Amino acid sequence: MAAPPLLLLDGIRFTLGNSPLLQGAGISVSPGERLALVGRNGSGKSTLLRIAAGELEPEGGTRFLQPGATMRYLPQEPDLSGHRTVEDYVMAGLGPSDDPYRARALFEGLGLTGEEDPSRLSGGEARRAALARALAPQPDILLLDEPTNHLDLPAIEWLEGELSSLRGALVLISHDRRFLSRLSRATLWLDRGVTRRLDRGFGEFEAWREEQLEQEEQAAHKLGRQIVREEHWLRHGVSGRRKRNVRRVAELQALRAARRDRIKPTGTVTMQAAEAGSSGQLVITAEDVSKSWGETPILEKFSTRIIKGDRIGIVGANGAGKTTLLNILIGKLPPDAGSVKLGTNIAMAALDQLRATLDPDRTLADTLTDGNGDQVWVDGKPRHVIGYMQDFLFIPEQARTPVGKLSGGERGRLLLAKALAAPSNLLVLDEPTNDLDLETLDLLEELLAEYAGTVLLVSHDRDFLDRVCTGIIMSEGRGRWQDFAGGYSDMLNQRGEGVTARAVAKSAAPPREAAAPRPQPAASKRLSFKDQHALTTLPATMEKLQKEIAVLQNWLADPGLYSRDPKGFQQRTDALTERQAALEAAEEEWLRLEMLREEIEG
């Protein structure tokens, strides 16, 4: 018998302004469940999560939380005011029975000391502090709204591991596909005010959603109804074009192969970019480039050649100098030593991560037209601003909306619309994926796949880097950067590890009386107790999974099973997929630990 839910929302209704936002939405969270809450920007995901957390009262419906169950909630914009240090802020969120030592251990994983002043934190540091406060009590239910926003790759990968090891239930909103796929076991789709549940992880959600939408369209045609054009575009436009992915993936692999040959081992798309005339074949050449800020080296004798058509991703920990490298490569910032040469006939369009070029008091339409009537010039041709807005998933009613009233994702789309209207053959994108929803990411990926020019981008989104890039420039730390062919996963395979976090400066320890140094053993590094236990138990786990897979495969080999028991056939198919994924994960973890053990012992 299934355990009763810890948290239950049923028939939730909520109105925003004059528009109904939630019209019968619901959530059911069982102990230990991993639930991804998905839906396009503006569908009400954050509102539903706030209602689940008890921070917002619904206009209708019921909310039930099991007595005694503990819950923690991470909002998109955490409030750290009223606390002297980050440690004070985190400790204030602990209950009487919670362990304060766990909070201090989390600081190390999140790259904090606990002594930071909350009023002086950057967006990424504030997000890390809020994560420590939410994770420290180890609650029965953890509600996370965009936990990876403003985090760098080391922090995202650390957070994945931390959340995977939690025993409590997890409800997660995120635009990071890989993060969702690795952590979720069920998916809740919020669409037009109601929720639909898939009892499988996010990795299988998009195919399932397409089936649901196709069934709706067939039903609509049978009833003789017409789908409104704007809603059809917002909800179906991307999925219809996704069927061309096979061709684009093949083209991307060809581009990567061409770049791999150059790098020898050494130390009809609706979102459309206006393209200038063709640039020269050699776009950027950097030779022995060095740059420092004070005593901190950013670049040390870095060299690269970027050819027309390359899509280069720049990755590294926060503070490694990604934006500095980008500005040096495009000639915006001079190097201290070495040379950077831009090719001929370069027309550049840039998107900056701070979005400082947007005037919050200007309307969306005026921002796109620069106040010149109702026309936008795209690729040297006039287009009506309403039609161009719709290309970027805005509705006509938003034309007179002040930019300051737009969400983060909508501002991101607006900047993309402005940047892509200008003719270019070199796109420079600094954190273009921040706050973008999955639909807009699909559009941007397709744009970059079809773009005839060259692309330089900085991003922490691993899935986006894999789908777009033909090459990766990665920070190795201390001013050293390395060029890799392929996407982020290709870089991992070549390098053997991902981006590493920068060291956190610890406050100086109080002086102690000098003592004679003790001789240290040659191998001070050792496996943790958790790793030792996993190394011992994983072989039995893998053997058990292999036996279960064999049993399920024997069941599914019966040609008459589906006709006799379609529900049983589906259940066994799902179980087989789940166990095969678990076996793959267990094998990878065992191999990692075995290699680590050999390194320590040898």
Phi, psi of 379 (to 5 degrees): 55, 40
Distance from C-alpha of 580 to C-alpha of 582, rounded to nearest angstrom: 5
Q: Looking at residue 478, what DSSP letter applies?
A: T
Q: Do 128 and 100 touch, CB atoms closer than 8 A?
A: no
Strands 282-293 and 296-307: antiparallel
Distance from C-alpha of 511 to C-alpha of 60, rounded to nearest angstrom: 62
As given in the structure block, the two tokens for residue 493 are: 């395979």
Residue ranges for the binding site? Answer: 39-46, 316-323
Residue ranges for the binding site for ATP? Answer: 39-46, 316-323
Q: In what order do the strands lie in the sheet with 169-173?
A: 71-74, 141-145, 169-173, 34-38, 186-191, 194-198
Vertex 96, ends 94 and 99: CA angle to 5°? 60
**CB-based contacts of 317: which residues, under 8 Å, 6+ apart?**
152, 153, 154, 475, 477, 499, 500, 501, 502
For tokens 């030779």, what's the residue?
A: 287
Q: In what order do the strands lie in the sheet with 19-29?
A: 19-29, 7-16, 60-65
SS3 label, residue 90 = helix
Vertex 233, ends 468 and 149: CA angle to 5°? 45
